[in-house]
């Protein structure tokens, strides 16, 4: 009797977490990712290949939040159509797995780019470019969407309890192994190793001018912060997946099932911190990022667009007898057209 009571209580906690955590994470993540895209799209920032990876990662984070968080929340009120229409069930998990994987890959590629850009080898540094970053992002997206999770269309469906889930344990194992290899397992390990090598490069690099070094140091700091967040958020769900594999064929009683469901819910929501909180952590830890955010808000609320890196002559007449003097300005603002 006590076991049943405990199980019911744990199931209640799981439902309440699913009720109250997703919505704030969704709101904060929507605002944060949109601002990330606006900041890294600014002309003063987007010249760095890492900014392109950050923009792509923010788009993937934005999509993954809506696909992964809003449907379970709607299911509490019987408004989730992915629990009612079979094809929507399949598409939901297909998009969910692809977006969270691409989000991780983009940060991994940004880490590799930072390693290359700080290398003493000129040939390695040449691989850090906007042109190559665009190609990598396109190729990675094609590979992910075409090859990694197409088995979802066979493995996932609506069961007799009207729940969109995997059809067999073998299906669950196949999808989770791909997730572990491509998302929460191997990429964070690679990021840690590459970050260590990048730190060594930065300490020994004196090949770039001081202004470029300061700008790249800010981008590198933001990237390191992103890697730390991703590793911290991925570790719990990776451990939970490994435990799930080890106990997959063990018959579990109601209490243990409730405990496993609660742990799975907690680790899943922790993993979504990486998708929703990056903007706020960037803002707290990077002065350069805060400066760019202020410029974004300035352009939004003052009705001005500020253009950098444009040189235009401004004639100034000193007096009636003096020659006209031309002054060059590299930072100008103009009002937004209505």
Q: Which domains does the chain have, with CATH numbers?
A: 2-297 (1.20.1070.10), 304-335 (no CATH)
Burial of 146 (0-12, 13-18, 19+ CB in 10 A): exposed
**Residue 34: predicted pLDDT:** 93
45-79 residue pLDDT tens: 777 888 899 999 999 999 999 888 888 778 778 88
Of the listed ranges 46-50, 91-95, 297-301, 329-333, the one predicted with least confidence: 329-333
For residue 301, the model assigns a pLDDT of: 75
Residue 330: predicted pLDDT: 42
Q: How far apart are CA 237 and CA 176, in angstroms?
A: 11
pLDDT at 135 over 80: yes
> For the ranges 20-24, 194-198, 222-226, which has the lowest average pLDDT?
222-226
Say how far apart CA 318 and CA 140 lie, in whole Å: 58
**Higher confidence at residue 318 or residue 29?**
29
CA 216 to chain CA mean position, Å: 20
Average pLDDT rounded to a whole number, residues 159-178: 84
Residue 303 near residue 335, CB atoms below 8 Å: yes
The answer on pLDDT for 247 being more than 70 is yes
Considering only 106-110, 145-149, 207-211, 252-256, which range has the smallest mean pLDDT? 207-211
With 90 as the cut, is the pLDDT of residue 139 above it?
Answer: yes
Q: Which helix (H) or strand (E) holds 224?
A: helix 210-246
pLDDT 10s digits, 150-160:
989 988 888 88
pLDDT band at 327 (very low <50, low <70, confident <90, very high): very low
| End-to-end alpha carbon distance in the chain | 69
pLDDT of residue 6: 85
- The whole-number pLDDT of residue 98 equals 94
Q: Minimum mean pLDDT among 119-123, 201-205, 221-225: which range?
A: 201-205
At 326 the pLDDT is 43
Which residue in 314, 315, 313, 308 sits closest to 332, CA to CA? 308
- With 90 as the cut, is the pLDDT of residue 222 above it? no
The DSSP output letter for 247 is T
């Amino acid at each position: 009797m006590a076991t049943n009571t405990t199980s019911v209580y744990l199931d209640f906690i799981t439902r309440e977490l699913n009720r109250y955590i997703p919505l704030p994470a969704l709101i904060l993540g929507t605002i944060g990712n949109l601002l990330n895209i606006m900041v890294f799209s600014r002309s003063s920032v987007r010249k760095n290949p890492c900014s392109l990876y950050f923009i792509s990662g923010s788009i993937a984070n934005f999509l993954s939040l809506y696909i992964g968080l809003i449907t379970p929340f709607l299911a509490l009120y019987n408004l989730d159509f992915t629990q009612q229409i079979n094809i929507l069930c399949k598409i939901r998990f297909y998009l969910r797995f692809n977006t969270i994987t691409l989000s991780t890959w983009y940060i991994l590629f940004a880490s590799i780019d930072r390693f290359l850009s700080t290398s003493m080898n000129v040939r390695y540094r040449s691989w850090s470019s906007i042109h190559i970053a665009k190609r990598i992002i396109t190729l990675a997206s094609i590979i992910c969407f075409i090859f990694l999770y197409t088995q979802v269309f066979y493995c996932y469906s609506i069961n007799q309890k009207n729940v969109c889930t995997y059809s067999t344990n073998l299906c669950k194992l196949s999808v989770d192994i791909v997730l572990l290899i491509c998302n929460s397992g191997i990429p964070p390990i690679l990021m840690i190793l590459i970050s260590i090598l990048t730190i060594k490069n930065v300490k020994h690099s004196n090949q770039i001018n001081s202004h470029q070094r300061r700008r790249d140091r800010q981008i590198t700091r933001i990237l390191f912060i992103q890697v730390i967040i991703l590793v911290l958020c991925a570790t719990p769900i990776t451990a939970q997946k490994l435990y799930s594999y080890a106990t997959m064929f063990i018959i579990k009683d109601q209490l243990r099932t409730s405990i496993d469901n609660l742990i799975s819910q907690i680790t899943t929501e922790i993993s979504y911190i990486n998708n929703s909180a990056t903007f706020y952590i960037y803002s707290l830890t990077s002065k350069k990022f805060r400066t760019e955010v202020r410029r974004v808000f300035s352009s939004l609320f003052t009705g001005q667009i500020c253009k950098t890196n444009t040189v235009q002559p401004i004639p100034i007449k000193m007096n009636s007898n003096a020659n006209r003097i031309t002054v060059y300005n590299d930072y100008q603002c103009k009002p937004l057209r209505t």
